[in-house]
């Protein structure tokens, strides 16, 4: 197989990423190693959650028959494109999982069409509504429950689809920036069998999406969980670009560092409990390892 990635340097918008281009082949290799860990996997599918900055799309990867990955935003779109590039489109199945009417589900459909992968669309709203109706007479439904339940229902759906395929596996689409500040639902979008971009920041994932040729309006879409009116950055009180500069360059005010360190400490348990194999990149992380 010819090299998937070229060593050409990438423009990562000012973030210190001298090793990013060199690490891309390692990302490709790690996926191959993952399939090597599971020799029975080939020629069977992998299920990966892929979505263009909203809740709803899941791609499946299967080296000879397709797997379902979940697509929800730029992260899932990038992972779906990465799987299609490495293993070819016929081994990837895009699973769209809207909760009722979601206007941005069209972005997920666009990604599926662009990548030429198979599509499966399942609306989780009847299940979501039925479960809330069963819960409401027995307990007070909290806002946290309403926000996180769809992500957990989506992951349960992805694993159900995986078990309906032959030896399929769910591919996670979490990134480092969101994990650092806890923007992941435990046993929801932070679950899966393998996490190819877990070691990359939002800025790096965007650069990878640009390199893979994904549409700019999907790769650079304002990050949101698709469930609340405000964006991720509005709720955080800072941008992912600022967070990424702190993670990689240790750049930022003392107050900003203290806030991010606090978010990291109170959310680290999510990663400690749900651990997935993922490629380790030789990049600094000044939040998780301040001594860098």
- The CATH number of the domain holding residue 62 is 3.40.50.620
Phi, psi of 119 (to 5 degrees): -125, 140
Specify the number of domains making up the chain: 1
Whether 288 is in a domain gets the answer no
Peptide bond into 240 cis (omega under 30): no
How many contiguous H segments (helices) and E segments (strands) does the chain have?
Answer: 11, 6
pLDDT of residue 73: 75
Beta bridge partners of 171: 194
pLDDT of residue 52: 28
DSSP 49: -
pLDDT of residue 6: 33
Whether 179 is in a domain gets the answer yes
Residue 117: partners with Cβ closer than 8 Å, 6 or more residues away: 59, 60, 66, 80, 84, 89, 90, 92, 93, 94
Q: How confident is the model at residue 88 (pLDDT cuts 50, 70, 90)?
A: confident
**Residue span of the structural domain in which 84 resides:** 20-273
Whether 267 is in a domain gets the answer yes
pLDDT of residue 104: 77
Nearest in space to 117 (alpha carbons), one of 86, 138, 140: 86
Whether 46 is in a domain gets the answer yes
Whether 110 is in a domain gets the answer yes
Q: Does position 218 have pLDDT exceeding 60, yes or no?
A: yes
Higher pLDDT, 223 or 137: 137
Whether 279 is in a domain gets the answer no
What is the pLDDT averaged over residues 90-119? 87
Q: How confident is the model at residue 247 (pLDDT cuts 50, 70, 90)?
A: very high
User: Among 15-19, 79-83, 214-218, 223-227, which stretch is predicted with the lowest mean pLDDT?
Assistant: 15-19
What is the pLDDT averaged over residues 53-79? 55
pLDDT of residue 169: 76
For residue 173, give Cα distances in angstroms to 134, 135, 191, 202. 31, 30, 9, 11
Helix (H) or strand (E) holding 227, with range, is none
Nearest in space to 6 (alpha carbons), one of 198, 196, 208: 208
For residue 119, give Cα distances in angstroms to 114, 133, 181, 214. 12, 30, 32, 18
d(CA 194, CA 191): 9
Whether 234 is in a domain gets the answer yes
Whether 3 is in a domain gets the answer no
d(CA 54, CA 109): 12
Q: Would the pTM of this model clear 0.85, i.e. be above it?
A: no
d(CA 185, CA 63): 29
CB atoms within 10 A of CB 144: 9
Percent with pLDDT over 70 in the chain: 71
């Amino acid at each position: 197989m010819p090299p998937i990635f070229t060593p050409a340097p990438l423009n990562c918008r000012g973030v210190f990423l001298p090793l990013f281009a060199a690490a891309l082949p390692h990302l490709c290799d790690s996926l191959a190693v993952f399939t090597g860990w599971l020799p029975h996997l080939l020629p069977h599918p992998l299920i990966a959650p892929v979505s263009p900055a909203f809740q709803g799309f899941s791609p499946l990867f299967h080296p000879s028959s397709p797997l379902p990955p979940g697509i929800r935003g730029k992260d899932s779109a990038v992972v779906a494109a990465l799987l299609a590039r490495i293993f070819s489109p016929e081994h990837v199945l895009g699973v769209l999982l809207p909760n009722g009417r979601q206007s941005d589900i069209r972005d997920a459909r666009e990604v599926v069409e662009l990548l030429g992968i198979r599509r499966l669309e399942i609306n989780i709203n009847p299940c979501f509504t039925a479960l809330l109706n069963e819960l409401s007479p027995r307990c007070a439904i909290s806002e946290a429950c309403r926000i996180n339940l769809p992500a957990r229902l989506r992951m349960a759906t992805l694993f159900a689809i995986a078990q309906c395929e032959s030896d399929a596996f769910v591919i996670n689409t979490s990134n480092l920036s969101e994990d650092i500040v806890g923007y992941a639902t435990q046993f929801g979008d932070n679950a899966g069998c393998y996490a190819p971009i877990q070691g990359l920041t939002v800025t790096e994932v965007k650069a990878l999406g640009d390199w893979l040729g994904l549409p700019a309006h999907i790769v650079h879409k304002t990050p949101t969980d698709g469930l609340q009116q405000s964006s991720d950055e509005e709720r955080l009180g800072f941008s992912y670009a600022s967070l990424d500069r702190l993670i990689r360059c240790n750049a930022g005010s003392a107050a900003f560092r203290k806030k991010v360190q606090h978010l990291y400490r109170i959310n680290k348990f999510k990663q400690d409990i749900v651990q997935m194999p993922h490629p380790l990149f030789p990049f600094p992380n000044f939040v998780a390892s301040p001594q860098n």
